[in-house]
Chain A
Amino acid sequence: MLQLKNIGKTYPGFNLSDITFNLEKGEILGLVGESGSGKSTLLRIIAGLEYSHSGSILFHQEDWTILEPQLRKIGFVFQDYALFPHLSVIENITIAASADSKKVEEIIQIVDLVGFQDKMIHQLSGGQQQRVAIARALMMNPNLMLLDEPFSNLDTMLKASVRKQIKQILKNNGCSSIIVTHDLEDAYEMADKIAILKHGKLIQLDTPQKLYSDPVNEYVAGMTGVYSVFKGQIIRPEDIEVTQNGKYKGVVKSRAFKGSHYQIHVELQEDVIKLNLGTWQVKNEGDYINFNIK
């Protein structure tokens, strides 16, 4: 089990503070936050590529806080994959590990790179390169897999299929993993738990379902989906039921199509509020609207 206790690090203009969480064996954690929220720094601290200024890291009770990175046996997949361009696929995968050929074959099969072993890195597509990076990380029999924005260089179509494959590989491997991403969809699909970081602080850590249904504040609500605030309460589009017998009554002043939902401004008796409605509940400008909050 990985345990982070009060991890902190200060740079000029940035402060990562008081990060505490546990990660069980086989669990996948998604670290979500905007640029500059400290998620990559946290990942580098866990890997030992940077050291924290305060707090401690324990892995199965072994103190990792100032342990050399190579002694942690961590599989790290970098955002740009950090593959060695002068080496072939097989040379990249086996550069550090003195593994037997059976294991190499097995990993090549897991990441679906059979037939690509002798290709040079520049001859591969983005998705293939990413799988080489994962294979290289897996070769180390890692205690922990860390993936820094692993999907940011892939196009949307490729991303969906690669995400599924990677999750499968990580789960089959059985080690704990942390995925840094700014894309909520990645985290929802891959992670068992999601941690939301803002300005170096851990705002909320929970299961994806719980984060969506019970965000601790508007920031988390915004990071995890579409929301409205009604009478001080955070509500999702599906919490709004448009019905003729609705408790609340108003006039639609404006309407904007947002893809998965409509955003409308409703004039109630007391003020004008912004609501995000599911597309199945469409109302036109000037219509009267009656609704309930579930």
Chain B
Amino acid sequence: MFEKIKHITLKEVGLIVLALLLFYPFTLLLQAFLGSADDSIWLHLKQTVLADYIYNSLLLIFYVAILCFFLGFLPAWYLSNYTFRGARFLSWALILPLTIPSYIMAYAYVGFFDLTGILSTVLRWFGIDGFHLDVIQTSVLGLVLAFSLFPYLFIISKAYFESATRRYVQAAKTLGLNSFEIFFKVILPLSRPALVAGLSLVIMELLNDYGAVKYFGVPTFTTGIFKVWFAYGDHLAALKLAFYLLIIALVILFIERRSRQQMKFTDTASQSQVLQKEKLPASKKWIIIWCWFPFVLAFVLPLIQLIFWALNALDYIDYSFFVLIWDSFLTASVAALFVLLIALFVNYVARFSRQVFLKKLSNYLTLGYAIPGAIIAVCVLLPFTKWSINFNNFFDLKWGLFLNQLGFTLVFAYLMRFFAVGYNGIEASMQSISATIDDSAKLFGFKALKTMIKIILPNLKPAIVASFLMLFIDLLKELPLTLILRPFNFDTLATKTFELAGDEMLEESAWSALIIVGLGCTVSFFLKKVIKL
């Protein structure tokens, strides 16, 4: 063991240092949890709102999980088994709601049923004046979040159904089972791991949400962390709250990882033969409506509402708006490039290292995607602030909180949260390049770096492009981290949308929202071409 560690190379040391940097902020949570118990704000939280945070978070999880089953799981099943007009389009279109961040979905839906919304306007044309619905309630928030998050379940379930289950359906049919029996006796039990894995992703994203829950005024862990940090100014209590949320996130992550492993084991059918999809029978035409339903409600309707608002706020488009677009574009691009380069570096070290523990370590670095942005934000802010101050003191400078102000803190937090997006895409593609390619290059006298640059990288081009695009759009939409960690007086499309909507300037916020959605759709279109979604 020690003999092996003695031969550790510089790039391996680099990976270890990176891992320590990425894990260090979380040790603050543990310190806070084990720290003094007599913090008055924390005691106050425990006595008053902590139970509400837990109750509301659980209630939302319950609502969203049930709704996602109907919006994502069932359409995935139908589209994997039946062909009908528009089915191919829907297979892609049902991913599009992911391009609408949940906070924008929330504004759009509240606006849609509001006095100035589309519904009320249309009814006014028919002489019904003053109609509106008060949709600010937890159950509607659940619906809005489900609209925004069901594609996660849809993507995972569909991939599973396409690869594994059609053969079992055929076997069940030969045994005389009807469609109802096939679904409940064969498909549902078989696809449980895919269902759990998909729902776990949905719940992780739900716990990460800040914008929508804040807008609906439903107190959850995330809003609690923000409130305690900024309104009460109590870092310790915020960290303690974040620790509890981290425990929930890790439990869900554990469930998700286990389910993914089970998905591999439940797939025992031979993959050599591709089975044809069945033509949709006339008696099941309702399936077409069922599959269009989530697309219309979760994409078309909010999009129409946003366009409707945007057309009423043409004055908003001025020079500062283009500056805002440019700033967001630049931030997302630079951060995506940075995360991508780190992901490439980690993949490179993991591939060429002889240290087995480094390969495992690089996998652990991806855990950040399960951790809500609010937790990462509070974990990162404290050490970066401290390091800025220490640096100033040491060199006798007056640069203030330069790490925060120059955006280093934000970019580092992005790395923690989105490393998995870059790493996983590249890793999957890298694994498809046979290890004998490395051996072959070694025999020609190529060192690891030369092999990476001359042989591996040229073959990773599609994966690099796809990972960059996915990172770009995730970063463009990102809200909680950016909201807390952005430099003073700096806005992105996401933060601007959130602020304007918070100030009830929904029409003005629509332009920023539309740019985010538009770019998201463009990226999904390219991804469809690059990785054939």
Contacts and interface: CB of A to CB of B under 8 A. Distances in A.
Nearest to A49: B439
B445 A96 contact: yes
B437 to A, nearest CB: 5
B458 interface: yes
B459 A86 contact: yes
B265 interface: no
A281 to B, nearest CB: 41
Nearest to B440: A82
B439 A76 contact: yes
B443 A47 contact: yes
Interface string B442-466: 1111100000001100110000000
Contacts of B458: 86
Interface in A60-111: 69-70, 74, 76, 78-80, 82, 84-86, 95-96
A79 B436 contact: yes
Nearest to B433: A85
A48 B443 CA distance: 8
B445 A70 contact: yes
Q: Which of B436, B437, B440, B442 has the most CB of A within 10 A?
A: B440
Contacts of A95: 444, 454
B434 interface: yes
Looking at chain A's contact residues, the main secondary structure is loop
Given A85-B459, A86-B458, A86-B459, A78 B444 contact: no
Nearest to B461: A86
Nearest to A47: B443
Given A70-B443, A70-B445, A96-B444, A78 B436 contact: yes
A78 B435 CA distance: 11
B55 to A, nearest CB: 50
A96 B434 CA distance: 19
A258 to B, nearest CB: 28
B402 to A, nearest CB: 43
Interface string B280-302: 00000000000000000000000
Contacts of B443: 47-49, 69-70, 74, 76, 140
A188 B437 CA distance: 29
> Which of B440, B443, B445, B454 has the most A CB atoms < 10 Å from its CB?
B443
A124 to B, nearest CB: 17
A82 B442 CA distance: 12
Interface in B387-441: 434, 436-437, 439-440
Contacts of A69: 442-443
B1 to A, nearest CB: 15
Contacts of A44: 439
Nearest to B459: A86
B434 A82 contact: yes
Contacts of B444: 70, 95-96, 140
Given A85-B459, A86-B458, A86-B459, A76 B440 contact: yes
A181 B443 CA distance: 21
A84 B443 CA distance: 14
A177 B459 CA distance: 31
B437 A84 contact: yes
A12 to B, nearest CB: 12
Interface in A37-72: 44, 47-49, 69-70
A82 B439 contact: yes
A135 B445 CA distance: 17
A112 B352 CA distance: 35
B439 A70 contact: no
A140 B436 CA distance: 18
Contact of A78 (B440, B445, B454, B455): B440
A80 B435 CA distance: 10
A270 B421 CA distance: 73
A120 to B, nearest CB: 12
Nearest to B447: A70
Most buried by B among A48, A82, A85, A96: A82
B518 to A, nearest CB: 34
Nearest to B455: A84
Contacts of B437: 82, 84
A80 B440 CA distance: 11
A209 B455 CA distance: 44
Interface in B183-228: none
B442 A96 contact: no
Contacts of B455: 84, 86
A70 B443 CA distance: 5
A93 B180 CA distance: 59
Nearest to B444: A96
B445 A80 contact: no
Interface string A170-196: 000000000000000000000000000
Nearest to B435: A82
Contacts of A48: 443
A9 B459 CA distance: 34
Contacts of A70: 442-446
Nearest to A75: B443
B461 to A, nearest CB: 8
Nearest to B442: A69
Contact of B436 (A74, A82, A85): A82
A82 B445 CA distance: 15
Interface in A114-140: 140
Contacts of A78: 434, 436, 439-440
B412 to A, nearest CB: 34
Q: Which of A74, A86, A140 has the most CB of B within 10 A?
A: A86
B436 A80 contact: yes
A44 B438 CA distance: 13
Nearest to A133: B440
6 A-B pairs closest in CB distance: A96-B444, A70-B445, A82-B436, A82-B440, A78-B436, A86-B458
Given A76-B443, A80-B436, A96-B446, 13 more contacts: A48-B443, A49-B443, A70-B442, A70-B446, A76-B439, A82-B434, A82-B436, A82-B437, A82-B440, A86-B458, A96-B444, A140-B443, A140-B444
26 contacts: A44-B439, A48-B443, A49-B439, A49-B442, A49-B443, A69-B442, A69-B443, A70-B443, A76-B443, A78-B434, A78-B439, A78-B440, A80-B434, A80-B436, A82-B434, A82-B436, A82-B440, A84-B437, A84-B459, A86-B455, A86-B458, A95-B444, A96-B444, A96-B445, A96-B446, A140-B444
